Structure 1
Amino acid sequence: MMNELSGIKKSFYYLLLTLFSVITVFPLIWMFLSSLKTGKEIISIPLTFFPSDPQWGSFAKALELAPFGLYIFNSIVTALAIVLFQIILSSMLSYALTQMDFKGKNILFVSILITYMLPAAATYVPSYIILARMGLLDTLSGIVISNIASVFVIFLLRQAFMQVPKELIEAARSEGASDWYILRKVMIPMTKSTIFTVSLISFVQMYNNYLWPSLIVNSQEKYLITVGLNKFFTTQGNFAEQMPLIMAANVLSVLPLLILFFIFHKWFIKGISDTGVKG
């Protein structure tokens, strides 16, 4: 009897997970199929799920109307640069917060967490003024520099560093290892699962960043994919006729993230389930 109830419970969980999975993936499938339809098919009533005659030319036409390849390249490059700086700076700060003793350490950490409570829009005006004085408006460098600090990354790395066995650190210190050596050879290798997961999350977040880049970038050749998509959406004429092109552009913008997920999904899931310490 207990086995039957356990089997029913598992079947219910699987059914529930399948339902949520379908709901999650359905918009992506609908977007892709809509990119292959005509404008009339997209707005037709009743709705049709599959295109009667797939319009593969929508992708080529969308690329002719706007340089989406350049937008995607800008987004990938800036996201990679931001993630690299975030991991380096956050690792250094997290090491100091967990392995060094200095006055005001707890106050410093609490102050960092308090900034996470602030609405992002509240920092836009002072950040804009700072970038303007540095001459970094309308540059990809401005996007990178204004995002190199992440409270989210600092918090997660600090928590991961706290789980590294103190015996390992003390053993390294007894051998005369410096703080730089311990950080590079002990802390980072022991928490690489967490670092990898945080890097992926931060990359996706920066790739999808829209509001801030739209405020500081004006030149088309420096648009990120999010800004380029918005401009493409607002500048097209007849909405119904251009809908397949808009859907095709959205598919192109999502493609790098889907490829990234399929390549690294095993490591991502492992990093989520891991405690943050390897070994």
Structure 2
Amino acid sequence: MSAARTTSPPPPPSAPAGPVDPKGPSWSDPGSGTAPKSGGGRLRKSGVYALLSIGLLVMAAPFLWMGLSSFKTDRDLTASPPVWIPSEWTLEHFDELLDRLDVPLYFFNSLTVAVLVTASNLVFCSMLGYALAKLRFGGRNKIFALVLGALMVPGNLMLLPLFVLMSKLQLIDSYAGLMLPFAAQAFGVFLMRQFMQSIPDELLEAARIDGAREWYIFWRIAMPLVKPALATLSILIFLGSWNNFVWPLIATNDPEKYTLPVALATFATDPNQSAGSNGMLMVGSLLIILPVLLVFIVLQRHFTQGLATTGMK
């Protein structure tokens, strides 16, 4: 006689612990896994925004004052207490500056030097950065170490050797003398090398297997991939060259070769020219800032992207 098979009944289904919220777990549910938004966090964020707004106002106030003062009358410029908004908008200071100073010539000199220096840095720094990042040759690391060492040398320390060299080459009072010392800067080489390292080696090897020459790979493959770095380098080099004051002051004796910052400084220190010229100095400063501001506005997106990407290299 076989033993009877016994089966135990299944356990009854457990009742829900409470009503189910159709909208999902609430913020106050400690088991939901989501931290509640505290009032302290919002207050802290508001404080950060307030500090940033104050910093923005502090940094923008001088530029705002300069721009508004360019359109003020002499009475508003000497008013006490100071007047922010002109009581009467005028362009007389623009006319006076153009009469006393050959602004178009000096503007052309500054623009020519800045554009050519920027273009030369984009070409030479990109080529050297590509070579240091993607080509295998002896002494590559030593060359890069020299580039890093050049970054540690103060620029003012090089003024005297550069002046002696330009004098021996008879390039004083020439555009070439203003541009050649800055045609390829160490920071540009470092920046482009860091970006070139982010390009996959497999992509370049595939192009070489297909028969592409190194020059073609550099211009058609590598350069389009580093556009953020090119925009970043363009802004930094253009800004430095446009605002460069010491070297153009040393390397030029002919007023026809003055850049705009040198011409404006010479005008401001000449008592025969600059008497009662606060408004004209404001106009000149505004003319110096506008090109750099326009370049930054045009390339701002690539500039911020380039800085962010460089920080991850």
TM-score, normalising length from structure 2? 0.82
Measured after TM superposition, the shift of residue 68 of structure 1 is 1.5
Q: Matches of 2:262 and 2:223 in 1, distance apart?
A: 35
Greater per-residue helix proportion: 1
Which deviates more, 7-16 or 76-85? 7-16
Residue of 144, 161, 184 corresponding to 2:179 = 144
Q: CA offsets, 1:228-258, max 9 Å, x none?
A: 1101111144967211111111112222222
Q: Matches of 2:289 and 2:62 in 1, distance apart?
A: 12
Residue of 256, 259, 264 corresponding to 2:291 = 256
Alignment of 1:9-48 (within 5 A): 9-48=44-83
Q: Matches of 2:162 and 2:275 in 1, distance apart?
A: 39
Query: Given that residues 67 and 282 in structure 2 are in contact (C-alpha distance below 8 angstroms), is that contact kept between their aligned partners in structure 1?
Result: yes
2:282 equivalent to 1:244: no
Report what 1:128 is aligned to: 163
| Larger RCO (alpha carbons 8 Å, 6+ apart) | 1
2:210 equivalent to 1:175: yes
Letter in 1 for 2:53: T
Q: Matches of 1:230 and 1:156 in 2, distance apart?
A: 33
SS at match of 2:229: helix
Letter in 2 for 1:23: V
Change in Cα spacing, 1:76 to 1:166, as seen in structure 2 (3 Å) is same
Report what 1:269 is aligned to: 304
Query: Given that residues 86 and 149 in structure 1 are in contact (C-alpha distance below 8 angstroms), is that contact kept between their aligned partners in structure 2?
Result: yes
Query: Given that residues 74 and 224 in structure 1 are in contact (C-alpha distance below 8 angstroms), is that contact kept between their aligned partners in structure 2?
Result: yes
Residue of 85, 91, 98 corresponding to 2:133 = 98
Change in Cα spacing, 1:239 to 1:139, as seen in structure 2 (3 Å) is closer
Q: Matches of 1:239 and 1:51 in 2, distance apart?
A: 22
Letter in 2 for 1:235: D
Change in Cα spacing, 1:238 to 1:208, as seen in structure 2 (3 Å) is closer
2:195 equivalent to 1:195: no
Report what 1:113 is aligned to: 148
TM-score, normalising length from structure 1? 0.92
Percent identity over paired residues: 31
Report what 1:205 is aligned to: 240
Q: What is the number of equivalent residue pairs in this alignment? A: 277
Residue of 65, 76, 79 corresponding to 2:111 = 76
Residue of 127, 152, 156 corresponding to 2:191 = 156
Structure 1 or 2, whichever has the larger Rg, is 2
